[in-house]
């Protein structure tokens, strides 16, 4: 039996069954071609790498450029190397001649609390104070002595312990508390600058910081001194 196309019905069914098989074969062939191409590229890359490693005249780059340590340190300007907490009691009394204290006079007890930083000035570093060896293995640093910065008075925690004032003072007002605050700041500065504990801690912290910095840059001989060490 034949249809209108003139081909037997069985032949048409066979062609329909064969078409998917041919398409699958083409896709498989393309997959094999792609895999072979990728393998070929990989072999070429590995071969070139192997040839490069065997080349006795290949170039090697060694970077011995020194770090710009002076510029980096001077950018720090003031290095706050240590901080101390201070408390001081200020006692200020004002009297009026020939008048009793209950009429005209004033006295305040003020407890001042605040922090004082010990600062090292890196802004003064130059080629004379910071000397690097030609092979970049040793460094000598001479630093200015640390100084006490202006105290930061903690107004919230500082307080007036007592404030006695005469009758006249109650009416005319007073700035004695402000005077006590300024006196507390002055006393903290004097104490921090005069005692050795805070400034010695600042020296130790600065040396530790610089030793760590230059060690990380490859320096093995690091000498750090302060200008007043020999005094």
* Residues linked to residue 224 through DSSP beta bridges, in sequence order: 141
Angle at 145 between CA 141 and CA 148, to 5 degrees: 140
Give Dmax (Cα) for the chain.
Answer: 147
| DSSP string across 79-142 | EEEEEEEEEEEEEEEEE-TTS-TTTSEEEEEEEEEEEEEEEEEGGG--TTTEEE-TTSSEEEEE
Round to whole Å and give the CA distance between 160 and 181. Answer: 10
Contact in structure between 96 and 128 (CB atoms under 8 Å): no
Round to whole Å and give the CA distance between 29 and 145. Answer: 81
Round to whole Å and give the CA distance between 222 and 225. Answer: 10
DSSP state of 70: H
Kindly give, in sequence order, each residue whose CB lies less than 8 Å from that of residue 220, ignoring residues fewer than 6 positions away: 137, 138
Instruction: Print pLDDT tens along the chain (231 aa).
Output: 444 444 444 444 444 444 455 555 666 666 766 677 767 766 666 666 655 565 554 555 554 444 455 555 555 677 888 999 999 999 988 876 666 666 567 888 999 999 999 999 888 777 788 888 888 889 999 999 999 999 999 999 999 998 877 665 566 667 888 899 999 999 998 888 877 788 999 999 999 999 998 898 888 999 999 987 754
Kindly give, in sequence order, each residue whose CB lies less than 8 Å from that of residue 143, ignoring residues fewer than 6 positions away: 120, 122, 125, 129, 206, 224, 225, 226, 227
Residue identified by tokens 């007890």 is: 109
């Amino acid at each position: 039996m034949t249809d209108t196309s003139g081909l037997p019905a069985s032949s048409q069914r066979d062609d329909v069954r064969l078409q998917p098989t041919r398409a699958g074969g083409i896709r498989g062939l393309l997959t094999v071609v792609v895999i072979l191409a990728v393998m070929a590229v990989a072999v070429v890359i590995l071969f070139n790498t192997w040839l490069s490693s065997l080349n006795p005249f290949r170039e090697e780059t060694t970077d011995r450029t020194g770090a710009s340590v002076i510029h980096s340190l001077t950018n720090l300007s003031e290095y706050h190397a240590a901080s101390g907490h201070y408390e001081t009691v200020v006692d200020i009394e004002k009297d009026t001649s020939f008048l009793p204290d209950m009429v005209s006079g004033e006295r305040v007890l003020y407890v001042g609390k605040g922090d004082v930083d010990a600062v090292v000035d890196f802004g003064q570093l130059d080629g004379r104070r910071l000397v690097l060896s030609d092979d970049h293995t040793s460094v000598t640093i001479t630093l200015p002595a640390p100084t006490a910065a202006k105290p930061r008075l903690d107004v919230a925690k500082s307080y007036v312990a007592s404030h006695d004032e005469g009758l006249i003072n109650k009416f005319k007002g007073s700035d004695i508390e402000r005077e006590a605050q300024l006196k507390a700041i002055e006393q903290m500065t004097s104490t921090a600058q005069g005692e050795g504990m805070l400034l010695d801690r600042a020296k130790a912290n600065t040396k530790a910081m610089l030793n760590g910095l230059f060690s990380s840059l490859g320096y093995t001989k690091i000498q750090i001194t302060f200008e007043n060490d020999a005094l």
